[in-house]
Chain A
Amino acid sequence: MDDLLAELRTWLGDALPKWKAKWNGDTSWDALCDWQRMMAEGKWATASWPLKYGGRGLGTMDVLAIEDVVAASGAPQIPGMIGLKNVAPTLMKFGNEEQQKSVARIGSTDEVWCQGFSEPGAGSDLASLRTRAVIDGDEFVINGQKVWTSNGMHASHMQLLARTDPDAPKHKGISAITLSMKTPGVEVRPIKQINGGAEFAEVFFTDVRVPVANLLGPLHEGWMVTMTTLGHERAGVAVFAGRLEQRIRGLIEEVAKRDVRVSPVVSDELAEMYVEARVLGAMARQMLNKIAQGGTPGSEQSVIKMVWSELSQRVDTVVMGLAGIEGVTGENNSATLGYLSARSATIAAGTSDIVKNIIGDRVLGLPRD
């Protein structure tokens, strides 16, 4: 592992200045994609992928160590995370030969993927989704609407969930389908977010025709295929937990250096968050150790997601509070944006209420409502 990280540091020492020189402070989508391309060529962005897909076949612990070194180097965020972390592993597992060709292109950002799951009428109750895909000869004909699609404006492709059997029980009649966003009948509209950005979009489907070969996994088994995808998303929460611990340490160091002491109430709030972050970090490390020893994380994933989302939100609220009047005058924009953006932590990838339902129902075996 030490050799690996040394190699990575050397690589970063060379690649990062090159990228910076080329883009000169530009952090546009294209600039970020260029960085991802370099990271994929170096097999760093794709380190968890098996060798035959252009990865390094590394386990979770190595990948986390890599991500830590990359984050510490001040490298920019990789834009195609959804593709790298969620879609690609699903394609590797369920995709046919044609679909698997996308994997390499996801690494290089030649393809940017989004996930079309949520609908206006189907959020927490995702399985009630109504976008239809009807088989007509050797094509699916798709009609309906998706919403809150992250990366929707930049995406070239989508992993879609659509209802293929309206008569089956709701979890059983859904299929996963891959498609190009350029397919006629697909219309993407940006949605302006609370933080002013437009990272997610709504996507409309009007008589969109794609080959039946675009089916991902078995017909009507899209729920199972998607749960696999979401599983990848949730395992990553341990990483977030580790970063949150670092972030709180950093925040406290910064506050401690100030000339003027914060009030005892704020100081105690910081200590309280520190305690919770340390405990969360310990829990995340336990989960990662379990993975490292070949185990599969179970309930701890949900617990970490719940604790992380609420604590990270609280940190941004405190940072906003520390900014005082500057948080509302635009003078401390990072505090303001952080505060606004953090609202999504308890909504995206399952709201906190839903996570508590899941723990109650599946872990504790409480009766369903």
Chain B
Amino acid sequence: MKNATTTEAERAEFRASVRDYLTNASPETRVRAVIDSGTGLDASTWKGLAADLGVAGLLIPEEFGGQGMGMAEMAVALEEAARALAVVPLLSSSVLSTLAIQLTGDEEAFKKYLPGLADGSEIMAFAGLDGAGTHTLARDETYWGLYGTKTAVLNAGIASRFLVVASTPDGTGLFVVDGDAGGVVVNPQDALDLTRPTALVTFEGTEGTRIGGDFTDGLKSLRSFGRIATSAELLGMSERLMEISVDYAKTREQFGKPIGAFQAIKHRCSEMFAHVESMRAAVAAASLVQPEDTAALHEQALVVKAYCARFAPWVAEATIQVHGGIGFTWEHVAHLYLRRVKTDEVLFGDALSCRDELQQILGLTA
């Protein structure tokens, strides 16, 4: 993956085309229909986004069928997809799985897996988000056998392969597991986020193909990219929530005037704006970091996630408050965002845990 190869103007143009596409392909009615279908995938929107707009391959080099872009471009796609609440595996397949493979440095694996990911024809799920609570063991006897359970595996139900992080006798490893391999049990979870199902995936001696060597540093970088990616989603959703709130504040009348004329509402909206602008600056700064400069990458990722994970939920909650009773209904879109926001908040660490790591980097704690 590279650093931004496009200019700001080009990214704005790209944003416009993605937004344009998603406005038509993934309106709220469509999102709700896909949720109700229980498939966990808006297949036609995914095809349009992944293949036609080339979004799935943004982070993949051209020689493997991708666009050869970087996080700055992917951040745009993530913002827009989250803004539209699109039911697509962009984060799990096109960011986490795609980057995990590339972070192994294993050229053979690149050739084998990246082209399918690049056009979205293959969907992979990343099983390695969680730290505590589950334990995965791989042993080298005649093959790598994986044992253990992974939670919160995003889009596990639609993935043809899993990328599994597991501890081995020689450190952390990354393994590719076929979805229909023996001993894989996928138990769908009752996920808060209705647009992005998760599952508990259990491996009972499942055969895995190890790619690359020690994945400790790779995983660390992947977590940083994950923080930037979830922050981009949080930004996209916060921006939309602010627009929805402002529109409502202009039209809903009480006491003979629009509620937006009342300062308690107006100032809440202004604060939403300030947080959205701050998130925008933070995501831009983090997504433009040179990926090779890992120290800067880790630090910037912690900063952006610590900010977005703190204030995006604030924006989502404020949206509900601005709407009063209607904001508390299933019919209103606010909760669909709140659910996805709260999920992105905890993926790769919430604000508190990011600050905890920052305190170490800053020398405030041992």
CB contacts (< 8 Å) of B359 on chain A: these are: 267-268, 270-271
Complexed CA–CA distance, A307 and B270 (Å): 11
Contact in complex: A275, B278 (CB < 8 Å): no
Most buried by A among B246, B270, B279, B356: B270
A366 & B278 in contact (Cβ 8 Å cutoff)? no
Residue A21 lies at the interface, judged by CB distance under 8 Å to chain B? no
State whether the Cβ of B295 lies closer than 8 Å to any Cβ in chain A: no
Q: Are B358 and A360 in contact, with the CB atoms below 8 A?
A: no
A318 to B148, CA, bound (A): 46
Q: Is the CB of A360 within 8 A of B284?
A: no
With a CB–CB cut-off of 8 A, which chain B residues contact A361? 266
A283 on the interface (CB 8 Å rule)?
Answer: yes
CA distance A360 to B268 in the complex (A): 9
Q: Does B364 contact A (CB under 8 A)?
A: yes
Cross-chain contact A282 with B269 (CB below 8 angstroms): no
A156 at the binding interface (Cβ < 8 Å): no
Chain B residues contacting A278 (CB-CB under 8 Å) are 282, 303
- Is the beta-carbon distance between B267 and A356 smaller than 8 angstroms? yes
Residue B337 CB within 8 A of the other chain: no
Range class of the A interface residue count: 35 or more
A residues 167-200 with Cβ under 8 Å of B?
none
Closest Cβ–Cβ distance, residue B37 to chain A (whole Å):
37
Closest to A277 in B: B303
A306 CB-CB contact with B under 8 Å: yes
Query: Which of A256, A353, A357, A366 makes the CB contact (< 8 A) with B250?
Result: A366
Bound-state CA distance A357–B271 (Å) is 10
Does A255 sit within 8 A of B, measured CB to CB? yes
Closest Cβ neighbor of B251 among chain A residues = A367
In the complex, A363 has a CB within 8 A of chain B: yes
- Determine the chain B residues whose CB is within 8 A of the CB of A257 once the complex forms: 363
**Contact indicator per residue, chain B 292-319, by CB within 8 Å of chain A (1) or not (0):** 0000000000011011001000000000
* A366 near B303: Cβ-Cβ < 8 Å: no
Q: Is the CB of B284 within 8 A of A286?
A: yes
A residues less than 8 Å from B142 (CB atoms): none
**B261-294 with Cβ < 8 A to chain A:** 261-263, 265-267, 269-271, 273-274, 277-279, 281-282, 284-285
Residues of chain A within 8 A (CB-CB) of B273 are 299, 303, 359, 363-364
Identify which of B271, B274, B303, B364 contacts A267 (C-beta below 8 A).
B364
Does B179 touch A at the CB level, under 8 Å?
no
Task: Please encode chain A, from 8 to 44, with 1 for each CB lying within 8 Å of some chain B CB and 0 for all others.
Answer: 0000000000000000000000000000000000000
Asked if A262 is an interface residue, CB under 8 A from chain B, the answer is yes
A356 touches B266 (CB 8 A): yes
Residue contact A283 to B246, C-beta cutoff 8 Å: no
Q: How far is the CB of B254 from chain A (nearest CB, A)?
A: 12
B365 surroundings in chain A (CB, below 8 A): 261, 264, 267
Residues B362 and A279 in contact, CB atoms below 8 Å apart: no
Q: How many angstroms between the C-alpha atoms of A356 and B272 in the bound complex?
A: 11
Known: A267-B359, A275-B358. A303 touches B277 (CB 8 A): yes
Closest to B352 in A: A268
- A353 to B268: give the CA distance in the assembly, Å: 11
What is the minimal beta-carbon distance from B234 to any residue of chain A, in angstroms? 13
In the assembled complex, A252 has its CB within 8 A of some CB on chain B: yes
Would you give the shortest CB distance from B265 to chain A, in whole angstroms? 8
- The answer to whether B281 and A279 have CB atoms under 8 Å apart is yes
Contacting pair A256 B282 (CB below 8 A):
no
A322 to chain B, nearest CB (A): 12
The yes or no answer to B355 lying at the interface (CB within 8 A) is: yes
Which residue from B249, B260, B355 sits with its C-beta under 8 Å from A271?
B355
The one of A359, A366, A369 that contacts B274, using a Cβ cutoff of 8 Å: A359
Task: Identify the closest chain A residue to B365 (Cβ).
Answer: A267
Is A165's CB within 8 Å of the partner chain B? no
| Closest residue on chain A to residue B278 by CB atoms | A279
Asked if A276 CB lies within 8 Å of chain B CBs, one says yes
Asked if A279 meets B282 with Cβ closer than 8 Å, knowing A272-B355, A356-B270, A366-B260, the reply is: yes
Whole-angstrom CA separation of A272 from B364 in the bound complex:
12
B258 contacts the other chain (CB 8 A) = yes
Q: Mark A261-300, 1 if CB is under 8 A from B, else 0.
A: 1101001101110111011101101100000000000011
- A250 CB to nearest chain B CB (Å): 12
* In the assembled complex, A365 has its CB within 8 A of some CB on chain B: yes
Q: Is A368 an interface residue (CB 8 A)?
A: yes
Is B257 part of the contact surface with A, judged by Cβ < 8 Å? yes
B304: chain A residues at CB < 8 Å are: 279
User: How far, in whole Å, are A70 and B257 apart by their CA atoms in the complex?
Assistant: 52
Return the chain B residue nearest A355 by Cβ. B270
Residues of B near A264 (CB, < 8 A) are 365
Binary CB contact string for chain B from 347 to 363 against chain A (1 if under 8 A, 0 otherwise): 00000101110110011
Complexed CA–CA distance, A268 and B352 (Å): 8
Judging by beta carbons under 8 Å apart, are A275 and B250 in contact? no
Contact, CB under 8 Å: B281 / A283: yes
Q: Which residues of A contact B270 (CB under 8 A)?
A: 306, 355-357, 359-360, 363-364
Within 8 A of A (CB), among B56-101: none
**Chain A residue, CB-CB nearest to B266:** A360
Q: With the chains together, A294 CA to B357 CA distance in Å?
A: 39
Contacting pair A353 B355 (CB below 8 A): no
From A253, A279, A356, A360, residue with most partner B Cβ within 10 Å: A279
B residues whose Cβ falls under 8 Å from a Cβ of A? 246, 249-250, 257-258, 260-263, 265-267, 269-271, 273-274, 277-279, 281-282, 284-285, 303-304, 306-307, 310, 352, 354-356, 358-359, 362-365
Q: List 28 A-B contacts (CB under 8 A).
A: A261-B364, A261-B365, A262-B364, A264-B365, A267-B365, A270-B364, A271-B362, A272-B355, A276-B278, A278-B303, A279-B281, A279-B282, A279-B303, A282-B282, A282-B285, A285-B281, A285-B285, A286-B284, A303-B277, A306-B274, A360-B266, A365-B246, A365-B250, A367-B250, A367-B258, A367-B261, A369-B261, A369-B266
Q: Which 10 A-B pairs have the closest CB atoms?
A: A256-B363, A366-B260, A360-B266, A283-B281, A359-B270, A271-B355, A282-B285, A356-B270, A282-B281, A367-B261
